[in-house]
Amino acid sequence: MRVPPVPVIFALILSTPAASAGVIHVPGDYGTIQEAINAAQDDDLILVAPGTYVETINFLGKAIEVRSDGDADPLTVDLDVTNTIIDGNQAGSVVSFVNGETRDAIVMGFTIRNGLSDWGGGILCSDSSPTISVNTITQNQARLSGGGIDVWRGQPRIQGNLIARNSARATLGQAFGGGINLSEGGGRILDNTITENEAYGPDAGRGAGICVEKSPVVIERNVITGNVASYGGAGGIQALAPVSGLRILANLIERNVGSHGAGLFIAGSGSGSPHVSLNVIAGNQTTTAADAVGGGVLCAGSSPLFETNLIVENWSQNGGGGLSCLAGGDATLRDNTIAGNVASALAGGGLHVQGSSVTLENGILWGNRAPTGAQVCLENGAALSIDYSDVEGGPALVHVDGTSTLTWGAGMIDADPRFTDAPNGSFDLRATSPCVDTADPADRPGGHDVAGNPRLLDGDLDRGMVLDMGACEFDHVHLAASGDFTPGGRVTIETSGTAGLELLLFVGTTGGELMCDPYGSLFQTLCSPFLVIHWGQIPDTKSRTIPAVSTPLSICLQVLAYDAATMAGNFSNDLTLGIE
């Protein structure tokens, strides 16, 4: 199974209206949603019963919440996304935030469809920063930008939506953002599924899934899959004139199609270095355009940091099956796995560097294919400095033309990384992998790896924590929980991994990280409630009853697996449980 992004813990905090706020029912009090908005005051709650509402709505700058409701009770949240439909009838943007709305302007729980506008077919945000949560935004079209959502100089929170089958289609010039377009703004794009959107323009289609320009936005924990861009753009995410505040974190970017950077394209001279971390970028492919390049990622004219990404099984017509850095794409690559990618016609199956200076450390380049430079190709004045990495074939499979330079540094190996099941998309490491505990011993990053394990562990159980090469840290123990997490419910807690290791279960509050050498990171805050319980040995399965709580509680579970004789061991991945 392909290694997933960092597990999503997604909770919407839904408050009941304040005592002074009003509750307006549609169609009980007003026949249309817009009539209810016209009558509403700040802090009011508009509850919309299931039905199809053929209209476009404008929030008029009001701090109100408009949400679907299946039971007409303002004290409960019973969203009915499927059956509560706002149909724009191609009469403009279906929902508009164009009067300086803040995060207190909330649209939640609708199917938003059939909008047609120059900007923002589904939702338009101009100089506004609303909250857009748990909607299905589908079958909308923009003639220029933002088929699903268009944001201009706003900082919205876009969370938990299905954004599917929207299009940005221009008849002249370029089109931007089939799913979401965000320009000169910011905000957060979190936990959405963005799929089967299209960006098409006669000159270029930019960012079929998401397009951002000059925007320090956080794009985190989204599933971005099956989006298609016309010539000149990325199918998944395209970042134009990127800035330092741009953070692309823990997304699954898979099976997108575009001519340049099918999964991710970072291009243009911005004001800083974006951070791309903890993403799975897999199975994307370029079109067959003559200059198509960058099956997984394309970087040009920018200096991003790529850290702890899994870039696998992507395909390019020409250069850079996994990642391509063109003129000015001076990237830093740290702790990435680049494997199983193909550059079909030209060069650089794993990494293609042309006219750029790239630093690569603690990486794995393995099983990539190309006619020239199967693992790495350096051309046109390129420079690559590489250390503490596993490169198949060593320098012999790195093509360096007469104008380029390769610096082969310390800690380099050429040995099968022993992925658990690469043919079936699993690129985590076996216990016997030569990449375990062989990265730069001076690097101590903390945090998580791409699969949610602590990033720095003692993989060989010698009581010394050393980073593993690549995006996946080998861990001797894995923790899973399933069942009913409400008070009185039964929860099954399962541990797997290296048989016979002793287990301690740590139960604490979330939000901390304590580096416990040599066991790795404990992702808990050491305050009440905090428990340590002897939990048996690997493998182990136990069931427990969730106790009653007086207030909602979010707790973190982790286990420590250790050898009782040597006291060497690892912390597991962490799980967060929300108990109401």
pLDDT digits (tens, 9 = 90+) for 544-580: 888 887 777 788 999 999 999 999 999 999 998 887 7
227-265 as b/e: b if 16+ CB within 10 A: bbbbbbbbbbbbbbbbbeebbbbbbbbbbbbbbbbbbbb
What is the Cα–Cα distance from 188 to 250, expressed in whole angstroms?
13
Distance between start and end Cα atoms, the chain: 32
Q: How many CB atoms lie within 10 A of CB 73?
A: 12
HSE of 519 in the Cβ direction (CA atoms, 13 Å)?
22
Beta strands in 271-409 (DSSP E): 275-277, 280-282, 297-300, 305-307, 310-312, 315-316, 323-325, 332-334, 337-339, 342-343, 351-354, 357-361, 364-366, 376-379, 383-387, 390-391, 398-400, 405-408
What is the Cα–Cα distance from 100 to 79, expressed in whole angstroms?
26
Give tens-digit pLDDT for 431-486. 999 999 999 999 988 899 999 999 999 999 999 999 999 999 999 999 999 998 88
Of 453, 493, 494, whose CA–CA distance to 470 is shortest? 453
pLDDT at 327: 87
Listed as ranges, residues in the chain with pLDDT below 70 are 1-20, 72, 270-271, 528-529
Give tens-digit pLDDT for 68-123. 998 867 777 789 999 999 999 999 999 999 999 999 999 999 999 999 999 999 99
What is the Cα–Cα distance from 26 to 38, expressed in whole angstroms?
13
Average pLDDT, the chain: 92
pLDDT at 528: 66
pTM: 0.94
pLDDT at 270: 62
Report cis status (omega within 30 of 0) of the bond before 539.
yes
What is the Cα–Cα distance from 466 to 94, expressed in whole angstroms?
53
Query: Which amino acid does the sequence have at 111?
Result: T
pLDDT at 509: 83
Task: Measure Cα distances from 205 to 210, 228, 255, 260, 281 in Å.
Answer: 11, 9, 17, 10, 20
